Structure 1
Amino acid sequence: MAFWQWSGGGADAGHVVVCVHGLSRQGRDFDVLARTLAPHARIACPDVVGRGHSDWLADPQGYQLPVYAADMLALLAQLHAEFPIHTLDWVGTSMGGLIGLLLAGQPGLPLPAPVRRLVLNDVGPALEWDALVRIGQYLGAPLIFASEAQAADALWQISSSFGPHTREQWLALSRPMLRPAPQGGFRLHYDPAIAVPFRSIQPQDAADGEALLWQLYGQVSARTLLLRGAQSDLLSPATAERMTGCGPRAQLVQFEGVGHAPTLVDPAQVEVVRRFLLDADAP
C-alpha cells in the first residue's frame, strides 16, 4: 500500500493525522489539507489498496472494509516504529470515514494511540440506497481519455456534486486520478474490480451493515466532527441529526452548494478541519 507523507519543519512527528479518501479516489485528494496541517503534525494519506499507486488485489472480494482497516493498522504500526505516535487523528471522506469508524469504534484494536479526533466527511452509519445505486452506475467503467483536459471534464460530469471548484482546482484534483493507458491516452487510476463486491451489495446487506456501523459509532470515544454537503444524497439530514445526539455526539458542519462530498479544497472547508484538529479550544 502506497501512502503520501507530509511533515513541515517544526512539526510534531508524534502527532499523526491519517487522511483516507473515498471509494474511487486516492490519497492526493488531501494535498491542500495536508499542506495546511503539515507545519503542525505528520500527515499520512494512503492510497487504499486497488487505488492510486497501491497494488491491485488478485481476488476482488478483498476490496472490502475489513481488509482496508487491517491495512491501516499495518500502516500505523509502521509509522509508529519510525517515530512513536502519541496523538492520532483521523480524517475520512466517505469510504475513508467508514474505515475510521471501524478503527475508532473497536477499543480492543492494536492502535499505537487511541483516535483522539475523528472527522467524518459526508458519511455515517446509514447510507442512502439511491446514492449507492448512483455510484455503482459509473464505478469500474472502462474509460479512456485522449487528454488530461478531457478526463477532467468527464470526471466533473460524475462529480459535480463536489461543489464549486475553479478550473485550476479541478485539474489539480483530476491529474492524480489518471494513468497512461496501454493503447494511448489516459485511464483511471483504480482497479476496475473494486466494483465487483460493491455491485453485489443488496438492500438487506446494506441494512445489516448499517446496524453494525451504528453499534461501532456508539463505541467511538474520539471527539467527532461530521461534515456534510447540504445537498448530499448519501448522508441524509436525518442520519446527520441522529449522529449529533448519540455516540460521540458529533459536531455537525454543513456546506451549502455541495453534495457528496466536500473535497476539503475550499479554504472555508479546510479551516473548519484545521481548527477542529489543531486548536486546543476547538469545540
Structure 2
Amino acid sequence: MTPAGEDITWTSADGLSLYAKAYGPAASKLTVLCLHGLTRNHKDFEPMIAALPGHYRFIAVDVRGRGRSAFDPEPNNYNPAIYARDMGALLDKLGIARVALIGTSMGGLISLLMTRRMPKRIAGVVLNDVGPVVEKAGIARIAGYAGKLRPVTGWASAAEAVKTIQGAAFPELPEERWMDFARRTYRELPTGEVVLDYDPNIARSLGKVKPGALTNFALWRMFGGLKKTPLLVVRGETSDILSEKTALEMVRRHPDAKLATVPRVGHAPILDEPGAVSAIIDFLARLEAKA
C-alpha cells in the first residue's frame, strides 16, 4: 500500500521549483532524506517506507528534472554537485539540523557530496548499490536506455517496457508488481498520455562519466570523508554497478560500516526486500538512539 504523505516545495538557488514528499510524524527523533537514482523520483522509496517503522520522518525528493520538480533549461546543471546544493536548500527551508541519508545509485553520490559539504548535518548514510568504483558495464547499460526509450501506448505498455529494461535485475519480481514499478517510473498527462517521469536531457550527464583510475581515485577520496559517519552499504547480489570487491573494500576502509547483500537482485535493490529492510531497521535504530 502506498503510504500517505505531505507535499513539500522549495526553490533552488537558481530559481527552480523543486518537490519532495514527507512521510511520518514531523516530531520524529530521526529524519531520513531519501535520494533516488538517475531516472527515478520520490516514488521509488514508497515500497521501502511502507516496509519500515512508521515513527520515522522520511523525506523523499524529486531532484531537478524528475517527477514534480521543474525541468532545468540548462542541462549541464543535471549533476550531483548541483543536486547536493539543492538538498542543502531543502534542509535549510525545513530547519533540519541533522538528517540521515538513504541514497540509491546517483543518490548515493549525492550523499557523499552532502557529507563532505555539511558533515555535522549528516547522522548516517545508507548507500544503495553504489560506491567509489562504478562498473563500466553498468554505466553502459544505463546509457543504453536513459532518455532513449520508445513512447508507450498506455499503462500496460509502460509495465511491459519496465519489465524489459529491469527484468534481468529482478528475475523473481511477481508479475503484478511490474505495474507498480511502472507507476513509480512513468506519469500520466492530463491528455491521458503515459510518459517517463523525467526530463530526457538528464541522460546527457552520463556522457561525462568516465570510469577509470582518476575518477576512482577522486571518489575514494570523497568516500574517505565518510569515516566519522555511520555507514550501511546495501548491494544487489548481481549488481553491475557495485561489485562485491568494491563493496567489501568500502567496509574494510570504513571504521563503522556494515554490508547487506540482497540475494538474486541486481541494480538497484528496491529496499523492501527482507534483508534490506532488516539491515535498514537496525541501522536507523542505532542512529535514533544517538539522536
TM tier, smaller: 0.7 to 0.9
Q: CA-to-partner distance for each residue in 1:91-138, whole Å, 9 max, x for gaps?
A: 11111111101111x1xx356x53122111110010011210111010
Q: Please name the residue that 1:176 is paired with.
A: 184
Deviation at 1:281, TM superposition (A): 10
Q: 1:89 aligns with which of 100, 104, 108?
A: 100
| RMSD between superposed Cα atoms in Å | 2.3
Q: 2:61 aligns with which of 39, 43, 46?
A: 46
Deviating more after overlay: 229-238 vs 273-282 = 273-282
Separation in 1 of the partners of 2:288 and 2:24? 23
Separation in 2 of the partners of 1:207 and 1:69? 24
Separation in 2 of the partners of 1:228 and 1:184? 37
Secondary structure in 1 aligned to 2:39? Answer: coil
Gap change, CA 1:76 and 1:248, over 3 Å in 2:
farther
Q: Please name the residue that 2:173 is paired with.
A: 165
Name structure 1 gaps, 5 residues minimum: none
Q: Is the 8 A contact 1:6 1:38 kept in 2?
A: no
Q: 2:203 aligns with which of 195, 199, 208?
A: 195
Q: CA-to-partner distance for each residue in 1:225-280, whole Å, 9 max, x for gaps?
A: 11111111111111111101113452111111011111112244222212211257
**Structure 1 position 229 matched with structure 2 position 256:** no
Matches within 5 A, 1:234-273: 234-273=241-280
Gap change, CA 1:182 and 1:36, over 3 Å in 2:
closer
Q: 1:219 aligns with which of 221, 225, 229?
A: 225
Q: Please name the residue that 1:114 is paired with.
A: 121
Q: 2:109 aligns with which of 98, 113, 116?
A: 98
Deviation at 1:143, TM superposition (A): 2.5
Separation in 1 of the partners of 2:34 and 2:287? 20
Which one-letter code corresponds to 1:7 in the other structure? Answer: G
Deviation at 1:65, TM superposition (A): 0.9
Q: 1:35 aligns with which of 42, 50, 54?
A: 50
Separation in 2 of the partners of 1:17 and 1:246? 24
Separation in 2 of the partners of 1:100 and 1:160? 27
Q: Please name the residue that 1:209 is paired with.
A: 215
Secondary structure in 2 aligned to 1:99? Answer: helix
Gap change, CA 1:37 and 1:230, over 3 Å in 2:
closer
Which one-letter code corresponds to 1:149 in the other structure? Answer: A
Gap change, CA 1:22 and 1:161, over 3 Å in 2:
farther
**Structure 1 position 68 matched with structure 2 position 75:** no
Deviation at 1:88, TM superposition (A): 1.5
Which one-letter code corresponds to 2:19 in the other structure? Answer: A
Gap change, CA 1:97 and 1:201, over 3 Å in 2:
closer
> Normalized against structure 1, the TM-score is what?
0.87
Instruction: Count how many residue pairs are aligned between Structure 1 and Structure 2.
Output: 270
Which one-letter code corresponds to 1:160 in the other structure? Answer: G
Q: Is the 8 A contact 2:108 2:127 kept in 1?
A: yes
Q: Please name the residue that 1:128 is paired with.
A: 135
Which one-letter code corresponds to 2:245 in the other structure? Answer: A
Q: Please name the residue that 1:277 is paired with.
A: 284
Separation in 2 of the partners of 1:17 and 1:76? 11
Gap change, CA 1:110 and 1:222, over 3 Å in 2:
closer
**Structure 1 position 23 matched with structure 2 position 23:** no
Secondary structure in 1 aligned to 2:54? Answer: coil
Separation in 1 of the partners of 2:150 and 2:132? 31
Deviation at 1:7, TM superposition (A): 1.3
Separation in 2 of the partners of 1:37 and 1:130? 32
Gap change, CA 1:74 and 1:281, over 3 Å in 2:
closer
Which one-letter code corresponds to 1:216 in the other structure? Answer: M
